[in-house]
Amino acid sequence: MLEKLMVFVEEISMEAALEQLMPKLLDDIEFEIFRFQCKDDLLKNLPARLRAYSTWLPPEWAILVLVDRDNSDCRELKQQLEGIAQAAGLQTKSQGVARFQVANRIVIEELEAWFFGDWVAVKAAYPRVQENIPQKASFRDPDAIKGGTWEALERVLKKAGYFSVGINKLQCAREVAAHMIPEANRSASFQAMVAAVEAARAWD
């Protein structure tokens, strides 16, 4: 049975969102979020961090690594993460083991795609935004929004009269994630993250 989930993230707004989301996914299971300075910092420090964990990680604990795709090739980035974990001697979910130690997940394209995936939550946090955003062609697939998802969200929020001087990503993450319903999210990358958490929770 899963006793603790450790989550590695690359920036503060993802940390803020997960502080709201993880209790919804884990109920009373303990979790701890480790935030790095940026994506490059996470990738640079991940090998040493995982090697250290491999020496003492309890069998009832798991690690979830979340990295934004940004402009990276998704397959290459996933292979890089898998290689780091396996070089550290840890078993990954992608290896097909039931009780994996590490699950690597790519956020496509970045955190704000998850917000577009739950527009009801965005509207709950910011009631003046247009309700029909998910029906517009450019927003139907939250993971395929062109030109950057946080920039797109900023434009939508500004148009509705919020964040006139520029989006506060940390504030937005806290306020939207507080309303998010995980099972309702339309983002495939969000659901892949949820599936990894649920797989860990399903351990005997």
**For the segment 112-165, what is each residue's pLDDT rounded down to a tens digit?**
999 999 999 999 999 999 999 999 999 999 999 988 999 999 999 999 999 999
pTM for this prediction: 0.96
- Cα separation, 114 vs 150, whole angstroms: 10
Same domain as 147, residue 85:
no
pLDDT value at residue 98:
84
Tell me whether residue 182 is in a domain: no
- Domain containing 145 equals 112-177
Is 92 in the same domain as 40? yes
Strands 4-9 and 61-68, sheet pairing: parallel
Output the pLDDT for position 204. 74
Do residues 60 and 93 both lie within one domain? Answer: yes
Give how many domains the chain has, as a whole number: 2
pLDDT score at 147: 86
Give the pLDDT score at 186.
Answer: 97
Residue among 121, 107, 96 nearest 189 (CA) = 107
Same domain for 50 and 123, yes or no, is no
**76 and 161 inside one domain:** no
Co-location of 126 and 160 in the same domain: yes
CA distance 115 to 139: 11
Are 74 and 141 part of one and the same domain?
Answer: no
Residues 83 and 145 in one domain: no
Q: Which residues of the chain have pLDDT under 50?
A: none
Say how far apart CA 154 and CA 95 lie, in whole Å. 38
Residue 103 lies in a domain: yes
Same structural domain, 33 and 62: yes
Q: Is residue 69 part of a domain?
A: yes
